[in-house]
């Protein structure tokens, strides 16, 4: 299978020079150090942590402190923060920088989950222009020499778009790059990402890199997105679920070679096994690691002749030995082509975005906004 290639191009995010313009999208519950290491073993680029709540970091929550750890092989190290309060976010950034815990920090303004937007957090926040600018400004100042980037959606819904204003505000505040998931919060993960919006953002934000995100399922898609939008780089999320070698294909496409991995079943099984082993190492707990790999089973074996019983057994295994025994019964099968490609992970249908009362009446914050947003900084499941 041939792949479209693009000329070699690097991406610079502040002082970080990447050989390929590729970023692993932060994904809660997925992009822990185990998955990041696995992806990196195949490719190149920037691999962002799952979202970390700034308040939990400031409070030094034990789980959070574990989530922000990187393996020694991970460089540059990247942490994504989520928050709503400028002071707390700035303090979280200060801790990361003072304790030398990352080389790059990303701020998440893309979360569409109702329990977050209902309080004015996530993708609802950039609607409040001064609050958004204040957060980015204080975070950039706290970050000092560590580049700070912003990840956002198009806006709340098609009548309340925020990405152009937010992109410009982030640029003015000194952000090192902006990334756009080209859907509104209301679209959730439905339909198609609106790549034209990435092109519009690229026109509006001219002094820092603009990264495009949404619906990159293959290296061809990544090359096409950059060509169609003028984006400086791509952010790849669901497309690499169960397919960490996509990062190798991306590096190859941007390196001008365009090698496609026609993954045989044994190749996939080896990647799955390695992922499980890295999860066990990350959790320092075999049972935990084997439980965590369960959510990846369907993604890895999508399109391959692996029966329901074996899939179910893999999703029940609680030791690496059990996983090995099950994988040992698989045999081999050639790359199945289209069946193994395409969409995977979250999809869903559009939803009306839950917001605080009166949120859309003004783009300024009012005296009661702080009160309204209390509780917006809670554990949630991403962007």
Ligand X SMILES: Cc1cc2nc3c(=O)[nH]c(=O)nc-3n(C[C@H](O)[C@H](O)[C@H](O)COP(=O)(O)O)c2cc1C
Contacting positions for ligand X (CB under 6 A): 25-30, 50-51, 80, 108, 110, 151, 181, 213-216, 236-239, 345-346, 382-383
Q: What is d(CA 216, CA 339) in angstroms, rounded to the nearest whole number? A: 16
Contact 45, 18 (CB under 8 A): yes
CB closer to ligand X out of 25 and 293: 25
- Closer to ligand X by CB, 50 or 249: give it: 50
Distance in Å, CB of 212 to ligand X, minimum: 10
Tokens of 241: 């679920």
Pick between residue 35 and residue 330 the one whose CB is nearest to ligand X. 35
CA-closest candidate to residue 268, choices 184, 327, 204: 327
Q: Least distance from C-beta 325 to ligand X, angstroms?
A: 29
Of 79, 131, 53, 30, nearest to 378 by C-alpha is: 53
**26 or 186: CB nearest ligand X:** 26
- 202 near 230, Cβ under 8 Å? yes
Q: Is 266 assigned a ligand-binding role in the annotation? A: no
Which residue lies nearer to ligand X by CB, 215 or 377? 215
Return the active site residues: 111
* Cα–Cα distance for residue pair 117/184, rounded to 1 Å: 12
Place of tokens 């169960």: 242
Distance in Å, CB of 80 to ligand X, minimum = 6
* Residue 152, annotated as binding a ligand: no
175 annotated as ligand-binding: no
| Crossing angle of the two packed helices 129-143 and 86-98, in degrees rounded to 10 | 20
Smallest distance from ligand X to CB 381, Å: 6
Q: Which is nearer to ligand X, 151 or 302 (CB)?
A: 151
Residue 80 labeled ligand binder: yes
Find out whether 28 is annotated in a ligand binding site: yes
Minimum gap (Å) between residue 36 Cβ and ligand X: 13
Measured between alpha carbons, how far is 378 from 380 in angstroms, rounded to an integer? 6
Token pair for 106: 């990303």
Instruction: Look up residue 244 and give its DSSP letter.
Output: T
DSSP type of residue 341? S
Report in angstroms the alpha-carbon separations of 44 from 162, 219, 248, 257, 310: 31, 13, 7, 14, 33
193 is in an annotated binding site: no
> Are 69 and 281 in contact, with CB atoms under 8 Å apart?
no
List the end-to-end C-alpha distance of the chain, in Å, as a whole number: 33
Number of helices (H) and strands (E) in the chain: give both, helices first. Answer: 16, 12
Per DSSP, the three-state class of 84 is coil
Q: Is 89 left (phi over 0), alpha (psi -120 to 50) or beta?
A: alpha
Max Cα–Cα distance, the chain, nearest Å: 65
Instruction: Give min distance, CB of 240 to ligand X, in A.
Output: 8
Please enumerate, by residue number, every residue annotated as part of a binding site for FMN: 26-28, 80, 151, 181, 237-238
Please enumerate, by residue number, every residue annotated as part of a binding site: 26-28, 80, 151, 181, 237-238
């Amino acid at each position: 299978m041939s792949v479209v290639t693009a000329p070699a191009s690097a991406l610079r995010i502040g002082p970080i020079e990447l050989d390929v313009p590729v970023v692993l999208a932060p994904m809660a519950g997925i992009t822990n150090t185990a998955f990041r290491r696995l992806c990196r073993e195949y490719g190149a680029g920037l691999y962002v942590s799952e979202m970390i709540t700034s308040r939990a970091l400031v409070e030094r929550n034990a789980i959070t402190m574990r989530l922000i750890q990187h393996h020694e092989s991970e460089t540059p190290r990247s942490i994504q923060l989520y928050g709503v309060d400028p002071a707390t976010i700035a303090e979280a950034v200060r801790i990361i920088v003072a304790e030398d815990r990352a080389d790059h920090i990303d701020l998440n303004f893309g979360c569409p989950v109702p329990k977050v937007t209902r309080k004015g957090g996530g993708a609802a926040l950039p609607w409040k222009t001064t609050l958004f600018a204040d957060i980015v400004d204080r975070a950039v100042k706290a970050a000092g020499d560590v580049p700070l980037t912003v990840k956002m959606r198009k806006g709340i819904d098609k009548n309340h778009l925020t990405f152009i204003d937010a992109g410009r505000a982030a640029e003015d505040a000194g952000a090192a790059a902006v990334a756009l998931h080209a859907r509104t919060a209301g679209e959730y993960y439905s339909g198609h990402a609106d790549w034209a919006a990435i092109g519009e953002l690229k026109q509006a934000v001219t002094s820092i890199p603009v990264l495009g995100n949404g619906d990159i399922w293959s290296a061809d898609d990544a090359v096409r997105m950059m060509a169609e939008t003028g984006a400086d780089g791509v952010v790849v999320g669901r497309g690499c679920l169960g397919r960490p070698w996509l990062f190798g294909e991306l590096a190859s496409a941007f390196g001008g070679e365009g090698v496609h991995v026609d993954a045989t079943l044994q190749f996939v099984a080896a990647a799955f096994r390695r992922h499980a082993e890295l999860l066990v190492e990350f959790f320092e707990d075999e049972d935990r690691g084997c439980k965590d790999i369960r959510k990846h089973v369907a993604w890895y074996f999508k399109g391959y002749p692996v029966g329901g019983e074996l899939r179910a057994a893999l999703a029940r295994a609680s030791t690496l030995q059990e996983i090995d025994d099950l994988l040992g019964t698989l045999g081999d099968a050639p790359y199945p082509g289209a069946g193994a490609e395409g969409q995977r992970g979250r999809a869903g249908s559009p939803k009306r975005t839950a917001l605080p009362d009166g949120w859309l009446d003004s783009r300024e914050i009012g005296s009661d906004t702080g009160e309204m947003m209390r509780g917006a900084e809670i554990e949630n499941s991403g962007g």
